[in-house]
A and B are shown apart, each in its own frame.
Chain A
Amino acid sequence: MNAQTPTPQAESRQAEARQAETRQAKTPAGMPAITYNFAYLDEQTKRMIRRAILKAIAIPGYQVPFASREMPMPYGWGTGGVQVTAAILGPDDVLKVIDQGSDDTTNAVAIRGFFETTAGVATTTRTQDATIIQTRHRIPEGALQAGQVLVYQVPIPEPLRFLEPRETETRKLHGLADYGLMHVKLYEDIARHGHIATTYAYPVEVAGRYVMDPSPIPKFDNPKMDDSPALQLFGAGREKRIYAIPPHTKVVPLDFEDHPFRVQHFAKPCALCGAHGVYLDEVILDDRGGRMFVCSDTDYCNTRQAEGHTGEMSAPAPEAAE
């Protein structure tokens, strides 16, 4: 049944030939020749990451240490996600990269370009056409499908890090499933503010065992992690951790009976496509308090606009319908 298992295809040979050309970087006299591997990483590094991915999938929500390599983009800019993507990516994959929900943000553009150059893979901005989606800070609005992989870039994988900075301690707490600290922290919020004051990177419990940092997605996106048909992989390069949520896994935000988990709800729809129930970016229009709210997921918004949906700041109807 599996649509992801690649079958050998002749095109891949061409892709590799192209690849070989791009790999041969220009080298001025006196410099050693510099060549790069498919998807940058050497095969041993990929195997090491792949082993970590399998263990991560087998122990949902547990952070598997891996020997993260130095990548040609800075730590904190997606090196974990990039290494995970590089380890799973094949020539038949179609890659989408988003940052803040958008395909056009600078870092998304840079990472997409990196894989176009080093792996020669097809890329897309359309969520439904992608086999692998690498993301920073958002989960796409549209439902993901079976067979898709969502790769999260993670800055701080340890949900307990800001309660206990020591790895030696947090590791013990996870081992004992002792998450009292986290509940105390959330409850202190309630005592002080009347509600939980965590709005992003909101901790979740995965498959009834590990408490996990969902990466800094807004808590609005947390419900999308639960029972998702897609495979969710998380890569933290600087902190050298990989973790995973298999498809159709129970993912529950931590909360209290008298203070159930709630997501943000925007009072107005998207000003460009009129969508309700989506996460919106606030755009400042002038220095007199003028602002509007538009979809953070640009592919979702563009698709709706192409279908003729409009919002209060849309172009006149005839143009939008074209």
Chain B
Amino acid sequence: MPALALGFADPVRDSQAAFKALMWAMAQPGDVVPLDTRLAPPAPLTPEMAASALALIDYETPVWLDPALAAAPETADFLRFHTGAPLTGDPAAARFALVADPAALPAFDSFAQGEPDYPDRSTTLILAVERFDAAPLVLEGPGIKGWRGFGAHPLPADFAARLAANRALFPLGLDLILTAPGAVAALPRSVRLQDEG
């Protein structure tokens, strides 16, 4: 068995840095926020996804891994050792879902959507994408002055329709964190897609 990859070199500082990038990403939907990590987690975990996970998950947060991550046992070993988080096979029971293959992202309604009295009890998805660009989505809503262009690859073909359906559930719904090499962005449930035309 290969040696376990290291976690944060400086847990206090590195967690704070990762969280701060995530906080600003969430507060400014679609904005691409730099995230510098010094992690080398086992594939298909990416450094940015691993940093997001180490900053947010622990023994209080059940985590669901997508089939791509679940197929690589080193991934589960890494997360279990560094976070103590219980892994769950039930996406609806997960506080966080890690998705290394975003093109095969399961249907949104398979995850926890929150409850009317407690909309915060919903799953946060953490996706690893290859890159961001400023198209084709045009975002509006809290955290966005006017509008903001956003795109990421790869994503499911019906991603825009899923986002719109997610917004329609507000205040219920999923919050998405997207990670790419050197950066993170977020699409909280509050984000709206600008009408075409």
Taking Cβ atoms with an 8 Å cutoff, the residues of A that contact B are: 1-2, 4-8, 12, 16, 37-38, 43-44, 46-48, 50-60, 62, 64-65, 87-91, 171-172, 174-176, 206-207, 209-210, 227, 229, 231, 244-250
Contact = CB atoms under 8 A, between A and B. Distances in A.
A90 B18 CA distance: 11
Contact of B27 (A55, A57, A175): A57
Given A7-B36, A12-B13, A248 B142 contact: yes
Given A5-B17, A89-B16, A47 B31 contact: no
A60 B190 CA distance: 8
A241 to B, nearest CB: 11
A66 B117 CA distance: 15
SS class of chain B's interface: helix, strand, loop or mixed? loop
Contact of A47 (B56, B120, B189): B56
**Range of interface residues on B (Cβ < 8 Å):** 35 or more
A176 B26 CA distance: 25
Contacts of B58: 44, 47-48
Nearest to B188: A58
B21 interface: yes
Nearest to A3: B24
A141 to B, nearest CB: 22
Interface in B18-57: 19-24, 26-28, 31, 33-36, 38, 55-57
Contact of B12 (A6, A43, A245): A43
B46 to A, nearest CB: 17
Interface of B: 10-13, 15-17, 19-24, 26-28, 31, 33-36, 38, 55-58, 60-61, 95, 116-120, 122, 124, 141-145, 170-171, 175, 188-190
Given A47-B56, A59-B120, A90-B20, A248 B143 contact: yes
A207 B141 contact: yes
Contacts of B190: 58-60, 207, 246
Contacts of A46: 15-16, 19
Contact of B23 (A48, A57, A59, A174): A57
